[in-house]
A = this chain, B = another copy of it.
Amino acid sequence: MVKTNPNFMNGVPELLVLRLLSEREMYGYELVKEIRAVTKESLGFGEGCIYPILHSLEEDGVLASRRRQVNGRSRYYYRLTAAGAPRLEKLAAEWERVRRGIVLAMGGMRERFAGV
């Protein structure tokens, strides 16, 4: 098994942010709402979670931002840099490893527990 973070399951918000920004540039407030929308309310992260991620990823050079005025509102749009794609692939691969591990361990759950 591969070591990742002190708490190995964390980093999902970062994964989703990178994934969404791989489609098109977005601003923080938009990401917060979009994550709720695309996951059909299954997942949702507050601004106190998303903004720090955007800032630290930009500091790492994974994201770049530009300021835009839209309808008199100031927004910071973020996009993936060249370093963003490999980072996204790495996180996605880690997620897939975790997912597979849990599926293996949970195998046969439905047959025994009808409610699940």
Contacts and interface: CB of A to CB of B under 8 A. Distances in A.
Interface of A: prevailing SS? helix
Counting chain A residues whose Cβ lies within 8 A of the other chain, the interface size class is 35 or more
Interface string A90-108: 0011011111111011100
A26 interface: no
Contact of A92 (B12, B104, B116): B116
Oligomer copy total: 2
Interface in A61-116: 85, 88-89, 92-93, 95-102, 104-106, 109, 112-113, 115-116
Given A9-B9, A10-B9, A42 B113 contact: no
B42 A104 contact: yes
